[in-house]
Structure 1
Amino acid sequence: MKTTKRSWIIRIAFVLVLVLVAVLMLRIGRGHTVYFDNRALDKDGQSVAAPYKITVYVNGEQISKLYDKERCMVTNIGDSLELTVEVMQQKGGSETTETYKLTLPHSIDSVIINLPAYMAGLPEEAYLEEFIPAPSADLDDEEAPNTEDDMGLGDI
């Protein structure tokens, strides 16, 4: 089998297209599910109180209004997002607006960000954690499958 010059050019072009697609996908990034918490933090001697209300905007779009002990979720493509928060410390108080540029870790798909701790300037270990869903309670309540040898015919 003789390999022609034209077939080598096609092979090289195909490999270059694959490399270009890989670089493009790396540049675009992967998707992250980000949960924002408005909960008081008391961890490792660091204590931060939760404000009365936080209005969360991600990349210019309003996601949610979080009151004390509430959580919202957003799906983000890429490893960074622009977070704008309007914070009301007490009911009926004035709102302050702040904008942050947040970089998400590549190694975690779903992250929880504690907004009061993040806005207080605490280190990443204090405000960021991986979201691990709890196992469903329905799995424990299911009946065991029928293992009898009657092939499902019962008492015929």
Structure 2
Amino acid sequence: MNKKRQLIFRCGAVLLVIALAAVMFVIGRGHTIYFDNKACEYGGKSYDAYYKVTVIKDKEKVAKLSEDERGMADLMGQKLTVTLEITDKKGEESHSHKVSMPIPYSMDGVVINVPLLMAGQSADAYMSEFVPIATPEEDEEEEVVIDEFEMTDDV
């Protein structure tokens, strides 16, 4: 009876650890979110960039974008909730939009195009994976300094 009880507790502990690991795997997943305020074309229609976009996450301003700029924010978890304060043109008043969206688990860096998002396009249109461009390393030759003056015993 004692060995059976011990086996049940061990199996329960293992299942609890596995369940906790699965939950932490999803909740603790970190993403880098890039917000683009750039003009673009999609489906044969062009979308202009806004004059200014302020991205607010958890009551903290994480990015302030002018036309053709990119901002960045870090996210833990799978759901992004931000407030976008948008100024369409210079001199106009800004208007706020609260946006919530799921972030694909498979993407580490996610680029969100704000004009396409605000136009009501699908997630495939406004969301893409960030792929850094590899820059070729320049072969810099190390300059060797040669001492022109030799040390001699003639002092």
**Does the 8 Å CA contact 1:59/1:81 hold for their aligned counterparts?**
no
Q: What's the counterpart of residue 82 of structure 2?
A: 83
Counterpart for residue 145 of structure 2? none
Task: Provide runs of 4+ in structure 1 moved above 2 Å.
Answer: 3-7, 140-143
Give the Cα–Cα distance (whole angstroms) in 1 for the partners of residues 140 and 33 of structure 2.
32
Structure 1 position 15, deviation (Å): 1.1
Distance 2:57 2:21 in 1: 27
Matching of residue 120 in structure 1 with residue 102 in structure 2 = no
Q: Match of 1:70, as an amino acid?
A: E
Q: What secondary structure is seen at the aligned counterpart in 2 of 1:4?
A: helix
Alignment correspondent of 2:49: 50
> Which deviations, in whole Å up to 9, do the C-alpha atoms of 1:67-124 show, x marking residues without a partner?
0010011110111121101111111211111111121111211110000110110122
1:141 Cα offset (Å): 2.8
Q: TM-score, normalised by structure 2?
A: 0.80
Aligned residues: CA RMSD: 2.0
Q: Computing the radius of gyration over CA atoms, which structure comes out larger, 1 or 2?
A: 2
Equivalenced residue count is 140
Q: State the match for 1:9 in structure 2.
A: 8
TM-score, normalised to structure 1, is 0.80
Which structure 2 residue ranges, 5 or more long, are not aligned? 142-155
- Is 1:65–2:93 an aligned residue pair? no
Residue 129 of structure 1 is matched in structure 2 by 128
Aligned-partner Cα distance in 2 for 1:60–1:105: 24
The percentage of counterpart residues that share the same residue type is: 40
